[in-house]
Structure 1
């Protein structure tokens, strides 16, 4: 990986993390199209720069995250994130095994796009218009929906937003709660990937994430710049997405996933 490649992947992460199109899929496709060799550092880098995207949500909704008089908000997030933490821990190796399978991920992108085409019709009469109306029970249900995104290509954002709409949330309320839920979820994943997970298990180069980052000056530079770029780009992407979703719904994103997914399927099949 060189600096330009790191910048491009960080831009892709910032653009796609909160859109219902799967940031994991797009970063994987981008790396493959740039001819980057799959490595443990590349996989860890793609996870760790989510930290920058996390901070963009905290910055945009800082009043919500730092309103310590609203303890219910924190309880809701704490309970809602439990399904992803538990299932993610047990299925981590299986998830990682799929990350390099671009054909499987492209297929999931297409299937998810078809689902998005019908999402607005399925959930037409929302009863919950604001985060304050969401119960802990609603939050836990959305947390389980979020777990569908453990299959790369699904999109954590799409799964949790549709899960929210299935619980009666409006599109805007579901999208915003998906953003809020992303903070503890992705923070946990980032901390796990950097400080807990052993990368390259069973090889002579087993390392923790932070050891790979500190391995040389380039890795430190990539990590810092990647997070800064992901933060800045995500700030813009989140605001744009909320406006587009509120006005036009999911159809645009559904067709986007289908077209891109089919195009990538053809590309990766022909490249085999």
Structure 2
């Protein structure tokens, strides 16, 4: 493992951790940065797949007490049952549609130009929805109706297009459907746990033949840095978005998409 590859792995882990849970698309950022760096760390997509687990574990650590309460409260606590019901309903579309379309999406859409287009389109959508959305009707995750939870799940499926952002799709979809900002954030973070775990497990299964111990050190660096940065970002983003809203992320997406399009077309 040379120093250049180690530094690139560290940078990519930081990018994953910093972008996974904010509405700017971690997959899109990884595709762009890997393309710019010319990073070739491990066979197949194993590096990008495994470092996502670091980000997932960061959210599990932050919400461990909540998860523990839900797991042991479902039998006796009605609110816990409603919470888990909503998570399962929102997870269902990704489980079914994601497994069906995984192959075509990764073959045809995982390229920098698609990412740039999705970043710009998503940025415009975020700004418009933040500006014109109505008054929220659901202020807690438990208050989300089954129909709304399922609809948020279908919004999450849009994130299969790289550059869309899983968190962006679920948060903005929830806002559009009348969920208050704090509840939309919490629901998105909690929904990430089963969704990302299932997606990562399925991706590892698809890439299993390419997995080797070569590059294990690079994966470890990326995994650890993704965990640390994601842990810090989730803590910070809760306070930031509660005060500022999502519009700054929309402007960032548009600016990044335009800049990267210029780089891609002129290099």
Runs of 4+ in 1 over 3 A off after TM superposition: 37-40
Q: Please give the alpha-carbon distance, in whole angstroms, between the structure 1 residues aligned to 2:199 and 2:168.
A: 18
Q: Please give the alpha-carbon distance, in whole angstroms, between the structure 2 residues aligned to 1:87 and 1:137.
A: 18
Aligned residue for 1:203?
Answer: none
Q: Please give the alpha-carbon distance, in whole angstroms, between the structure 2 residues aligned to 1:39 and 1:28.
A: 15
Match of 1:175 among 150, 162, 185: 185
What RMSD, in angstroms, separates the aligned Cα atoms of the two structures?
1.8
Aligned residue for 1:96?
Answer: 106
Query: Contact 2:134–2:178 (CA<8 Å) still a contact in 1?
Result: no
Q: Within the alignment, does 1:59 sit opposite 2:34 as a pair?
A: no
Q: Please give the alpha-carbon distance, in whole angstroms, between the structure 1 residues aligned to 2:143 and 2:110.
A: 40
TM-score computed with the length of structure 1 as normaliser: 0.88
Match of 1:8 among 11, 34, 43: 11
Q: Within the alignment, does 1:266 sit opposite 2:235 as a pair?
A: no
Q: Please give the alpha-carbon distance, in whole angstroms, between the structure 2 residues aligned to 1:122 and 1:222.
A: 45
Aligned residue for 2:31?
Answer: 28
Match of 1:105 among 84, 95, 115: 115
Q: Please give the alpha-carbon distance, in whole angstroms, between the structure 2 residues aligned to 1:91 and 1:37.
A: 26
Query: Contact 2:129–2:176 (CA<8 Å) still a contact in 1?
Result: no
Tell me how far 1:39 sits from its aligned partner: 7.2
Tell me how far 1:95 sits from its aligned partner: 1.6
| Structure 2 residues without counterparts, runs of 5 or longer | 74-79
Deviations 1:55-81 (A, max 9, x none): 111111112111121233223222211
Query: Contact 1:98–1:152 (CA<8 Å) still a contact in 2?
Result: no
Query: Contact 2:41–2:218 (CA<8 Å) still a contact in 1?
Result: no
Q: Classify the secondary structure of the residue corresponding to 2:163.
A: coil
Aligned residue for 1:160?
Answer: 170
Q: Please give the alpha-carbon distance, in whole angstroms, between the structure 2 residues aligned to 1:117 and 1:76.
A: 27
Q: Please give the alpha-carbon distance, in whole angstroms, between the structure 1 residues aligned to 2:42 and 2:55.
A: 22
Q: Please give the alpha-carbon distance, in whole angstroms, between the structure 1 residues aligned to 2:255 and 2:139.
A: 32
Per the alignment, do residues 262 and 110 of structure 1 end up closer, same or farther by CA in structure 2, a change over 3 Å counting?
same
Aligned residue for 1:225?
Answer: 221
Aligned residue for 1:184?
Answer: 194
Map 1:226-265 → 2, pairs under 5 A = 226-265=222-261
TM-score computed with the length of structure 2 as normaliser: 0.90
Query: Contact 1:28–1:99 (CA<8 Å) still a contact in 2?
Result: no
Aligned residue for 1:202?
Answer: none
Tell me how far 1:37 sits from its aligned partner: 4.7
| Structure 1 residues without counterparts, runs of 5 or longer | 200-207
Aligned residue for 1:136?
Answer: 146
